[in-house]
Amino acid sequence: MQKTKPEYVEIHEGLLPVFQLLTDIVVILEKTDQTFFYYFVNEAAEKIGIVKERVGTCHALYHEGDVFEHFQQTLNQVIQENCPIRQKVAHVTGDKEYVLDMTMTPYVNQSSGRQFVMILARDMTDQVQTQRLLKESEERLQKVLHYSPMGMVIFSLDGMISYANKSTYEALKATSSSQVIGRSIFEFIPRDEVVLAKERLAEVIAGKDVDAYVLQLNDCLNGGMYAEIKGILVSLGNKDEVIVMLRDVTERVNTLSALQESEEKYRLIAENTKDMIAITDAETYGRILYASPSHQRLSGCDSEDFIGMHASMLVHPEDRERTQTEFDLKSLLGEPFMLQYRYNTVSDSAEVFVESSFSPIFDEYGKIEKYLMISRDVTERRNYERNLLKLAYYDSLTGLPNRLRYREDLLLEIKRASKEGLSFGLIYLDIDSFKVINDTYGHDAGDQVLQAFSKRVRSALGSKGTLYRLAGDEFVIITQPGSVKEELGEIAESIMRSLSEAISYKNEAFTVSSSIGIALYPDDGLTRHELLKKADKAMYDAKQKGKNTYCFHS
């Protein structure tokens, strides 16, 4: 007489095809005597090394020491308490470590007494790594911003200050955070300036790009200063706030005030200031009437040489048309305005960036007859801003674009490819057995390998795409639009050839290889997550084939 299978097994055998379709990891273990045997493993579990060949074998074969004891105790606890347990665990397969969000649920067949634990797990590795990288990037940026020479203040839409950097404390002569944090920004603005400040703030909150403007501020010692203000609206966390960059321009404002009071005082100050001061004639559209001696530092010419010259000659030839257009538009308002451009230096040295403020000087009939032009070398500040951008979007070890830049670029590439009806490739690759190099020879050796690997892959790739470092030894390539499958295979082969020569480190030579997975837009996915998942799966297939090869998603 044939033995009838228990009802529990029949139910789950009916669900097994459904479990196979899940992208989450599903593993079922059956308790036998004092241990547990693998009963079912879906395809998603095989990605992290839990292969279907484990079915029917004891889990003790795959765990040892404290890991085995902890896993065994947890499984028994689930059975004994008849209650699910959820925990985040690290799972190591070969040279790769996964972070799993795992829930273990008990099942008991009442008729047969057979006891099971179903494990449902989700791979959180990418999310955890992204959170760690974001945290590290945020910490670096916060440190850089805190010690920036330019002041920074963050406040709520109603004006309550929540952050100020070191330069702001110094500008406001504050000796403790309590003198600034938690106070309204309007407490630092004189009454006769509050209306203007609120008008500009309303424009910022409305999403308008408000030009920088000069505002008088009160400091903590009942003194005063002038600051050039630039505000932007940002979303921090789950709320909108305003970030204001401020630069102390008290000296400049005082200089302008002195200039308006007395021509004699004007010349005295102008000829001894580091700022480059000029007066241009509005009637002749920019003919220079006066230039301070400070122009000589950048131009190499005496101030007298500028008299009669058109002000546009101070501008780098490649920036003249843009600068002239901006000047013509902004001057129509009859208010002070600012322009940024490259200075027309006489030497072939590095580029010099200048910021110029233009203040109209009116005649007795209210017509603009001259412009007071005060220029300052802002090359250092511009380089500082570029370095901030590099910290946020580029990997410091390899110089490659990082995960944040990759995510933005991939979204843009998907939009462009969708609009233009083009295909492109997403190539996922890592360094085979990289963990062995790190563990055996140390992180300095690992860093050397990562740098050499990046250089060779980028050279092999050429102009056919962009290489990004995601984390550790994981890299991704976004190919140029229009790429087809044959071209993607050629790129992969070119990369493998570039790695054939050993990488030298001190007295060691490392021969490295790469497992490469390829996904094609739109055939393999229409979203960022779909493409990366398919490319990652293809890379895993390449490793299963013995590494040092490439696979397309299938």
User: What positions carry a catalytic annotation?
Assistant: 473
What three-state secondary structure class fits 48?
coil
Angle at 401 between CA 398 and CA 435, to 5 degrees: 45
Q: Which amino acid is at 209?
A: D
Q: Which amino acid is at 461?
A: L
What three-state secondary structure class fits 492?
helix
224 φ/ψ sector (left φ>0, alpha ψ -120 to 50, else beta): beta
Pairing of strands 514-521, 550-552: parallel
What three-state secondary structure class fits 337?
strand
Q: How far apart are CA 247 and CA 217, in angstroms?
A: 11
Q: How far apart are CA 230 and CA 214, in angstroms?
A: 9
DSSP state of 271: T
Pairing of strands 151-156, 224-236: unpaired
- Encoded tokens for 346: 């006489």
What three-state secondary structure class fits 547?
coil
3-state secondary structure string across 69-133? HHHHHHHHHHHHHCCCEEEEEEEEECCEEEEEEEEEEEEECCCCCCEEEEEEEEECHHHHHHHHH
CA atoms within 13 A on the CB side of 548: 9
Where does residue 386 rank: exposed (0-12), middle (13-18), buried (19+ CB within 10 A)?
A: exposed
Contact 20, 42 (CB under 8 A): yes
Sequence-distant (≥ 6) Cβ neighbours of residue 534 within 8 angstroms:
426, 517, 519, 524, 525, 553
Pairs from 41-48 (Cβ < 8 Å, separation ≥ 24):
45/121, 47/123, 47/537, 47/540, 48/91, 48/93, 48/98, 48/100, 48/123
Q: Which of 303, 172, 174 is nearest to 248 (CA)?
A: 172
Contact 513, 496 (CB under 8 A): yes
Sequence-distant (≥ 6) Cβ neighbours of residue 183 within 8 angstroms:
160, 161
Which string of DSSP letters, residue by residue, matches 231-246? EEEEEETTEEEEEEEE
Which string of DSSP letters, residue by residue, matches 282-317? TTTTSEEEEE-GGGHHHH-S-GGGGTT-BGGGGB-G
On the question of a cis peptide bond just before residue 522, with omega within 30 degrees of 0, the verdict is yes
Where does residue 535 rank: exposed (0-12), middle (13-18), buried (19+ CB within 10 A)?
A: buried
